[in-house]
Structure 1
């Protein structure tokens, strides 16, 4: 795999070969046999037509359409190279988010929508995540939240076309119609996109309120429903509980407080 087409073995690739075989030779052979994308990448490395970098691996995944098989194969190869210090350690959750954005953008047909989604994802969501992270790796939950907000923005732009509207022509009644529609789950998730669009002058006169909180009306089930009221026994629903437990004196030769003294033996 790591031999160039002219039959020469490139010395700079010896570390890659050692990393793959030292990890688990049998698994490596199965991995290369079952993953055409990984095998093709190794042959390109040997031929010198592909660079060894995180960006090159990400490009391979995007070119393969981000399928689960190609992603797992390339990510396994990446993990081997990182563990062998051949590739530098990086924030994988953030990198996967950026790669997901690139795949989503490629699937958007409308060029105007593609530019809007790219700007919102790159300069608002991802930029804010980087500022808050301050150089530290982000959590998977953080990446998932941003991914959901970007996906909701794409869905909203697509829905506007069914209403013969664009983001520039959208007005508040259209927003209200979106929020009351049963066809979209998590309608309020579009709020970050709308706020950004208005602030960036891509839209005007529209807003999405915060998701309303659930409130309990009079007569609703209380929080401690099913629990007995204070002062009643759990053994009999109609019988009051006994008084507080009898307090005993610290001295052992005294009887319980509130009760008659026990006769002492003579």
Structure 2
């Protein structure tokens, strides 16, 4: 049992488990310092049925929150921040639809917010004040001294204001104007041509990059990483991908790449799960899909910037198709399609109306 997934599990971990009392549980493994060897062992035990499956991103986030909140100096403000995280971001993540796991991006969004809240509370303390006595002028001063991500404290401040933990406080809404964060159309098509023709690249990387770059897909890395064989509709001569309510035919040569991923059922892990995994993009961990963060790094390594490339694809498709059609094809919410349609139109009538009023 010393070798899991072709990577050695540290002897100290196995020795500690061997001399311990009681069954090996997720809680027991959580006591060890974060290490890939522990993650490999956990995945192997889950894949073989020795441990129940759980949402690992959510579990890691919960452990991180405990450590981060503990660093806040004031006991009262620690209590307020703990209540906020339990009733706001964590509550939303724990109430996701059945079968939907917390993504790396969602967990990271919570980390950024809570980290900035903790920094604000410490900044106030260093200035000789508290959250209860904080004024809007002090919040504005703190916001202007740092990066725009500090505005993520907005949700926390609105929550404390409503519940009487602070005076009425707020922060600006972070802009979602994506048009300034894209690559050019020529650059995007150059990347498409490379992924189509460069057979030296791995099949999984080529397929993921094309799903990101092609107009009729434009999928985020988080959704690409969790695609399964159930999303693939094989009609014999043609192959289709069902992302929303309508299947989209997969053009050549992407259809051949997807077929190769469908036929590669074993994945890369040495441990064989009890049930055959349905993932198209496998992880080194038994029975698990590739981590979105890992897939994003792999795409960047071959010259495909995931977020910028996807923005460019969505800008193009939003300029050609109505928002309703986009939501049906790509599986987005209607409001997401509306937002991208507005982005693709630039400033448009709203800006013209504002200028005429000046």
Shorter-chain TM-score range: 0.5 to 0.7
Q: What does 1:27-176 correspond to in 2, within 5 Å?
A: 27=6, 30-33=8-11, 36=12, 38-45=13-20, 48=21, 50-58=22-30, 60-61=31-32, 64=33, 70-134=34-98, 136-176=100-140
SS state of the match for residue 88, structure 2?
Answer: helix
For 1:40 and 1:201, the matched residues in 2 are separated by 51
For 1:159 and 1:96, the matched residues in 2 are separated by 27
Deviation at 1:189, TM superposition (A): 1.4
Bigger mean CA offset, 133-142 vs 93-102: 133-142
Contact 2:136/2:169 (8 A) holds in 1: yes
Contact 2:158/2:168 (8 A) holds in 1: no
Q: 1:207 aligns with which of 146, 156, 170?
A: 170
For 2:97 and 2:136, the matched residues in 1 are separated by 34
Ranked by relative contact order (alpha carbons within 8 Å, sequence separation 6 or more), the top structure is: 2
C-alpha RMSD of matched pairs (Å): 2.7
| 1:237 corresponding residue in structure 2 | none
TM-score, normalised by the number of residues in structure 2: 0.45
Rg larger in 1 or in 2? 1
Contact 2:69/2:118 (8 A) holds in 1: no
How many residues in Structure 1 have an aligned counterpart in Structure 2? 179
* Deviation by residue 1:218-255 (Cα, 9 ceiling, x = unmatched): xxxxx99xxxxxxxxxxxxxxxxxxxxxxxxxxxxxxx
For 1:163 and 1:41, the matched residues in 2 are separated by 46
For 1:75 and 1:40, the matched residues in 2 are separated by 16
SS state of the match for residue 102, structure 2?
Answer: coil
SS state of the match for residue 108, structure 1?
Answer: coil
Contact 2:132/2:166 (8 A) holds in 1: yes
TM-score, normalised by the number of residues in structure 1: 0.59
Deviation at 1:71, TM superposition (A): 3.1
Gaps of 5+ in 1: 1-16, 65-69, 215-222, 225-266
| Residues 103/40 of structure 1: CA separation in 2 closer, same or farther (3 Å cut) | farther
